Amino acid sequence: MSADTRQLEDAGLRDVHIPSGLRPYVAAMWSRRSYVWYVARSTLREKQMNSVLGNIWHLLNPLLQIAVYYVIFGVVLEVDRGVDNFITFLAIGTLAFTFCQRSTLSGAGSIVKNLGLIRAVEFPRAVLPFTSTLTETLSMLPSFLVIGVVAVVTGETPSPRWLLLIPVMGLLAIFNLGAALYAARATSVVRDVQQILPFVFRILLYASGVLFSAAEYAEGSYRWFFTLNPVYAFLTVARWTILGSDVSRSLLLSAGTWTVVVTVTGFLWFRAGEASYGRS
Amino acid sequence: MAAPEPPLGLAGLSVRITDLEVRYPVYEEITSTTHNRLGRFRQRRSVDVHAIKGITADFMTGQAIGIIGSNGSGKSTLLRTIAGLQPKSAGSVHVRGEAHLLGVNAALKSELSGFRNVMLGGLAMGLSHDEVHSKMDELVDFSGLGDAMGRPMRTYSSGMRARLTFSIATLRIPEILLIDEALAVGDRSFRAKSLEKIREIQREANSIVMVTHNLNEIRETCTRVLWLDQGRVVADGDVETVLESYESSEVAP
C-alpha cells in the first residue's frame, strides 16, 4: 500500500475497485431483508390472483402430482415392490424433489430476469437468489401439510418423529439456496445453463429413487453413488422421518455435508462474480 | 521514500482519480471478402479498446461536474469506472461514501405497477417498508405520473419510464451521484424538476458527476466541466471557459 493510499484511507476514502469485505456485504444483505419478504410474498399473491382456484392450487397441485405418479408407477408399472406405503413414499419423494428442482431453476433465472433492477439499483446481488429460494420455500409449505395428510390417510400412525421432517426440509431449503446461487451465476455467464438444468433434473429424478425404491441399488456396488447423491440422501432421510424406513448414518452425514459445502462455496462463488451481473 | 505531503484538502475530497487507465476487449466481426465454398464467412477477432488513457482528477464535495466530449471519448466508461462497475487496468479511483450510477434506460419490472416498482426499488436500495411509504406521496407528486402510477409499467412511454426511474433513484441519495444522460429524456417540465432536484442534492453537500450532450443542462447545473477526448482530459475548469473552447472546437472540423 502506497503512502498516498494510506493517506486517502485515513481521510475516509476507499478504493472502489477493491470489493467490500464479507462483513459489509452481509450487512448490506441484511438491510434488504424487507425486500426479500416483499418480493416473495407479492410473487405468491400474484400467482394466486391469476388463477381461478387461487390458494387451493397449493394443495391440489401436489395431490394431483402424487396421483399421476401413483397410477403410472404403482398401478401400471408396479414398481412398488419392497415399499410398504408406496403412496406416502411417492408423496415425500416427489414433493421434496420438486422443492429442490424448483428452487434451483428459479435461482437460475434470478439474475437474468432482474437485469432491469440490477442496472437501476445498487444492492448486493446475492439478495436475488435468496429471494427466489424464499419464494419457492413459501410456496412449498402447503405441500408438507399434504405429506402429513397423505401419511395419515394411508394408515401411518403419527409420531413425534414426524416433526423431524421440519428441520430436514429446512436443511434442504438451505441446500437449495446453495444450488440457486450456483445456478444464478452460471446462467448469468452462459444462458444455456437454463436449458440444460431441466435435463440434469430429469437424470436426477431417476438416479435418486424418487419414483421407485433405489434401496436395492443403494446397497449394491453403486452404493458410493447413492451415498454421494445429495438428493437421494435428502429423500431417504425425509422418508425416514415419516415412514420410519431405514436410513444410514452416512446418508445423514452426506446431506449435512453437502448443505454446508454447497451453500458456503455457492455464496462465495456467486459473490466473486458480483461486478459481472447485469453487464452483458 | 516519498516526502510526506500535507493532505491538501483531503477533508473536502469526494473522488480522487489517479492515473486511471481502462482497457477492455471487444469482439469485432469482420466480414471476409474472400468467398469460399461455404459462401461468405464471418470471423471474429478480439480488439483491445483503450477507453481511458490516463486520467487524474480530484472532485470535491458539493461540486457538480459535467463531463463532455464526442461519442467514444470515454465519458460513460469513466462514470462506470467511478461506480466500480467497470474494472480498471491501471491507476486508482478512491471515493468517499457510496457512488451510485443513475441509469434511466433501465427498467424495473414491467408487469408491475408504478407503485409496486417504487416499493421494489426502494426496498432494494435498503430502505424500509415504512420509509418508502412515507416518501410515496412526495414521489408521486414529483414524478407527475398521477393515475399512471397504478398501471403496469409496460404501458408507460419511455418518458414516463424515465420519470419513474429518476424518481425512484432519488429515494435514497448516495454521497456521489453519477448520472449518464439521465435528463435527456422526459419533457421540459420534468427536466426542470430534475434539475431542481439535482441542485437540492448538491446543497446536501453531495457531489454529482453527469455525462451529457446537452450543454444547457451543464450551464444550468454544473460548477465545473471536464472535457474528454479519446480517453484523455482536454480541459478541466469552470463551466464557461471550458464550454467556450469546446464549442469553438466543435465548429471547426
A-B CB pairs within 8 A amount to 104
Q: Find the Cα–Cα–Cα–Cα dihedral A12, A13, A16, A19, rounded to 10°.
A: -30
Confidence of residue B4 (pLDDT cuts 50, 70, 90): very low
Interval A166-175 mean pLDDT: 96
Position B38 scores a pLDDT of 54
Give the nearest chain B residue to A38 (CA atoms).
Answer: B120
Distance from CA of A188 to the nearest CA of B (A): 16
pLDDT digits (tens, 9 = 90+) for A87-144: 899 999 999 999 999 999 999 999 988 887 787 777 899 999 999 999 999 999 988 8
**Residue B161 confidence (pLDDT) above 80:** yes
Distance from CA of B238 to the nearest CA of A (A): 25
Binary contact (A17, B83; C-beta < 8 A): no
Interval B9-29 mean pLDDT: 84
Confidence of residue B35 (pLDDT cuts 50, 70, 90): low
Binary contact (A122, B169; C-beta < 8 A): no
Position B5 scores a pLDDT of 47
Position A1 scores a pLDDT of 54
Distance from CA of B252 to the nearest CA of A (A): 37
User: What does the radius of gyration of chain A's CA atoms come to, in whole angstroms?
Assistant: 21
C-alpha–C-alpha distance, residues A152 and A132, integer Å? 32
Confidence of residue B41 (pLDDT cuts 50, 70, 90): low
pTM higher than the cut 0.90: no
Interval B206-222 mean pLDDT: 87
Binary contact (A35, B120; C-beta < 8 A): yes
- Chain centroid, CA B244 distance in Å: 23
User: What does the radius of gyration of chain B's CA atoms come to, in whole angstroms?
Assistant: 21
Interval A15-30 mean pLDDT: 87
Distance from CA of A32 to the nearest CA of B (A): 5
- The percentage of residues in chain B with a pLDDT greater than 70, rounded to a whole number, is 84
**Residue A239 confidence (pLDDT) above 70:** yes
- The percentage of residues in chain A with a pLDDT greater than 90, rounded to a whole number, is 50
Listed by number, the residues of chain A in 70-109 with a beta carbon closer than 8 Å to a beta carbon of chain B are: none
Strand order, beta sheet including B90-95? A14-15, B90-95, B13-31, B42-60
Distance from CA of A258 to the nearest CA of B (A): 30
**Residue B32 confidence (pLDDT) above 80:** no
Confidence of residue A60 (pLDDT cuts 50, 70, 90): confident
What's the residue count for chain A? 280
Position B241 scores a pLDDT of 93
CA quadruple A231, A233, A238, A239: dihedral sign:
positive
- The percentage of residues in chain B with a pLDDT greater than 90, rounded to a whole number, is 32
C-alpha–C-alpha distance, residues A251 and A246, integer Å? 11
* Residues of chain B found within 8 Å of residue A39, distances taken between Cβ atoms: 120, 123
* Residues of chain A found within 8 Å of residue B106, distances taken between Cβ atoms: 116-117, 119-120
Confidence of residue A82 (pLDDT cuts 50, 70, 90): confident
Position A138 scores a pLDDT of 94
Query: Average pLDDT over chain A, rounded to whole?
Result: 88
Interval A159-182 mean pLDDT: 96
Question: Would you report the helix, strand and coil content of chain A in percent, each value rounded to 5?
Answer: 75, 0, 25
* Residues of chain A found within 8 Å of residue B167, distances taken between Cβ atoms: none
Strand order, beta sheet including B207-211? B99-102, B176-180, B207-211, B64-68, B224-229, B232-237
Its ipTM equals: 0.74
Do A37 and A117 contact (CB within 8 A), yes or no? no
Position A172 scores a pLDDT of 97
Which of A35, A111, A115 should be substituted to probe chain B, the one whose Cβ sees the most B Cβ atoms within 10 Å? A35
Position A178 scores a pLDDT of 98
Position B2 scores a pLDDT of 46
